[in-house]
Amino acid sequence: MHMRLAADTTPRKPAFWTMARRDAASGYAFIAPQLVGISIFVLLPLGLVFYYSLHEWNVLANTFTFVGDANYQMLLRDPNLPQVLWASAVFSAGLVVLNMSLALLLAVLLDQKLKGMVIFRTLFFSPVVVSLVAWTIVWSFLLQANGGINGMLAMIGVEGPNWLRTPSTAMISVIVVQVFKNVGLNMILFLAALQGVPKELYEAARVDGAGRFKQFRRITLPMISPTILLTSIITIVGSLQVFAQIAILTKGGPGVSTTVLVYYLYQQAFQFNFFGYGSTLSILLFAIVAVLTFIQWQMRKRIVFYEN
Amino acid sequence: MKTDLSPRAKVALYGLMCVLLIPFVFPTWWMVTSSVKPISDIFAFPPDLWPRRFDWSTYQQVFELQPFARQYWNSAYIAAIVTIGTMLVSSMAGYAFARIRFPFSNTIFMIVLMGLLIPSEVTIVPLFQLFLSWDMINTHWPLILVPIFGAPSVFATFVMRQFFIALPVELEEAARVDGLGRFKIFWTIALPLAKPALGAVAIFTFLHSWNLYLEPIVFLSSTQMFTLPQALTQFTDAYGGAMWNIQLAAATMTAIPVLLVFIVAQKQFVEGLAHTGLKG
């Protein structure tokens, strides 16, 4: 008691824990788990993957030797690589175009004021809920030579191909399976965006005599362009990560026609034990993702008309 | 706004949507109904929309051919831990980036955002080596630690930050004047208000963990440790051919927990999407 009274009469020393210091300490404490995690599980591995890419790594012989840019030379001469990159490009482009247009079409349809829309919305969304591998397994049955798709085609007198084993149809099959699986997510995002467009804009346009298509092109599309951009980035980056669908539906075949980059990198590193070359392919994947993200970031300035 | 649809337009619209629904609904319907058909009926042309005969024994065989209950538990507990862990880590980081002023916060945020740019597929080789050197291969640690602290949680942090930025400051100011600490404010005021965003994060994270495929096949080697996506592809006969009815029964069972999560969190999910700045 005495001590406290005595202390109270002396002039106050400026406290060490000022508001700003308190904030700084709590700020660092709050982000610490994430920052440590990113350092250990993202930044460190990114450095390591570059380091590995400069080495030849024979797991069986237990050798790890510096080879400089030999893996990168190999990359340039890899006879499979052009086809792998082509397959990745076709997959991403096909997926994005189909996914975005179907999502937008469904969102516009579901935005109409009709009875039972909630049920339709739920049903279109339902494949998102089915686990990815389960969905892919079902489609691999439907798409086989004597599967459900060809069964239905036979009823109208058409003989379908063996979808997943024919070079010309394998890739499109994989894309379609993936589109139906995930289009519901983009559809919901578009629907939310559509419902956020101020109704007065449409009324004004109608007074000016603009038709429905013109309203869509001149009002709806510009107003929802931030959502379109965001979903397209998510969809493209996601499309570069596709793995399970390829592994289950085609195993990269026939030939290497559906071997996308991630699948190829998995094969090289974990099936053939070429960890050095697998790391080089990882660097290539990283470079592609970085370039795409940069382009989309730049495009933001040009195509996004409206941002909150 | 578009209420002036003629009855004819309405019929056309319903018709169009029903046709479009077929590829979305038929595979799931067919998966569930075929899982209780005898194997011979699965190949029937035209496919039966309702089983002609029921054969429930496939559901029993799923558990006999593999330690399926164990694998189910593996997937469930990993997804639960990852979801709760991510919600905690990313809401704390998101709150700090949105609400607390501290030196270098923008620079650090940019570094964390790098996680969005670097898919875990890019780093899978060094991650494998790291966990190998820590003696954690064929354990569930990689499937728990990487999603909670690594790249997959960055998107969640971003969503949470967007949400907290939009939250009115006044709600916390009174508490600050009363001398409440940052953690107390976060825990008792900000976090309860963030339920919609947390719901969205929970669903995204749960789905991501539940569907993980590349990581389990890289990190896990024994059947006992397998997660469901991995296990589903293992129902093959002696010649490597798929045992369709059993695969479909197992696949049907994997859909149930996700369905439950959606029913519980669907309202939060839609609200969360509307709040995260994804809305145009």
Determine the pLDDT at residue B280.
31
Residue B36 has pLDDT above 80, yes or no: yes
Answer yes or no: do B5 and A112 touch at CB < 8 A.
yes
pLDDT band at A189, cuts 50/70/90?
confident
Residues in chain A: 308
Q: What share of chain A is helix, strand, coil (3-state, %, to 5)?
A: 75, 5, 20
What is the residue type of B272? G
Token pair for residue B147?
């999603």
CA distance B130 to A53: 16
**Closest Cα of chain B to A172: distance in Å?**
15
Residues 60-119 of chain B whose Cβ lies under 8 A from any Cβ of chain A: 89-90, 92-93, 95-97, 100-103, 105, 108, 111-112, 114-115, 117-119
Q: B182 CB contacts (<8 Å, ≥6 apart)?
A: A22, A23, A26, A30, B100
Average pLDDT, chain B: 87
pLDDT band at B269, cuts 50/70/90?
low
User: Per mean pLDDT, which range of A17-21, A93-97, A158-162, A181-185 is the poorest?
Assistant: A17-21
Average pLDDT, chain A: 87
Would you say B157 and B200 are in contact if contact means Cβ atoms under 8 Å apart?
Answer: no
Residue B11 has pLDDT above 70, yes or no: yes
pLDDT band at B2, cuts 50/70/90?
very low
**Closest Cα of chain A to B98: distance in Å?**
10
pLDDT band at B1, cuts 50/70/90?
very low
pLDDT digits (tens, 9 = 90+) for B139-193: 999 999 999 999 889 989 998 998 898 888 887 888 888 878 888 899 988 999 8
Find residue B245's DSSP bridge partners. Answer: none
Using a CB-CB distance cutoff of 8 angstroms, which residues of chain A are in contact with residue B247?
Answer: 137
pLDDT band at B5, cuts 50/70/90?
confident
Using a CB-CB distance cutoff of 8 angstroms, which residues of chain B are in contact with residue A127?
Answer: 24, 27-28
Determine the pLDDT at residue A307.
44
Higher pLDDT among residues B48 and A11, named by residue: B48
**Closest Cα of chain A to B255: distance in Å?**
5
pLDDT digits (tens, 9 = 90+) for A49-90: 999 999 998 777 778 889 989 999 999 999 999 999 999 999
CA distance A215 to A247: 44
pLDDT digits (tens, 9 = 90+) for A225-278: 888 888 888 888 889 999 999 999 999 989 899 999 999 999 999 999 999 999
Answer yes or no: do A138 and B148 touch at CB < 8 A.
no
Task: Quote the strand ranges of A103-243, DSSP E.
Answer: none
Token pair for residue B22?
């077929």
Determine the pLDDT at residue A303.
61
A163 phi/psi in degrees, rounded to 5 = -50, -45
Determine the pLDDT at residue B171.
79
Residue B84 has pLDDT above 70, yes or no: yes
Taking the Cβ of residue A130 and every Cβ of chain B, the question of whether any pair is shorter than 8 Å is answered with yes
pTM: 0.88
Using a CB-CB distance cutoff of 8 angstroms, which residues of chain B are in contact with residue A52?
Answer: 125-126, 129
Residues 220-259 of chain B whose Cβ lies under 8 A from any Cβ of chain A: 228-229, 232-233, 242, 244, 247-248, 251-252, 254-255, 258-259
DSSP label at residue A144: S
List the single residue in B105, B119, B129 with the smallest CB-CB distance to A289.
B119
Residue A12 has pLDDT above 60, yes or no: yes
A to B CB pairs, distance under 8 Å: 291
Q: A60 CB contacts (<8 Å, ≥6 apart)?
A: A273
> Which residue in B19, B278, B262, B4 sits closest to A105, CA to CA?
B19
Using a CB-CB distance cutoff of 8 angstroms, which residues of chain B are in contact with residue A28?
Answer: 102
Share of chain A above pLDDT 90, in %: 48
Within 10 angstroms of residue B39's Cβ, the number of other Cβ atoms is 13
Would you say B182 and B190 are in contact if contact means Cβ atoms under 8 Å apart?
Answer: no
CA distance A156 to A142: 17
**In chain B, which residue's Cα lies nearest the Cα of A40?**
B150
Q: A211 CB contacts (<8 Å, ≥6 apart)?
A: none
Answer yes or no: do A33 and B89 touch at CB < 8 A.
yes
Determine the pLDDT at residue A135.
93
SS3 A63: strand
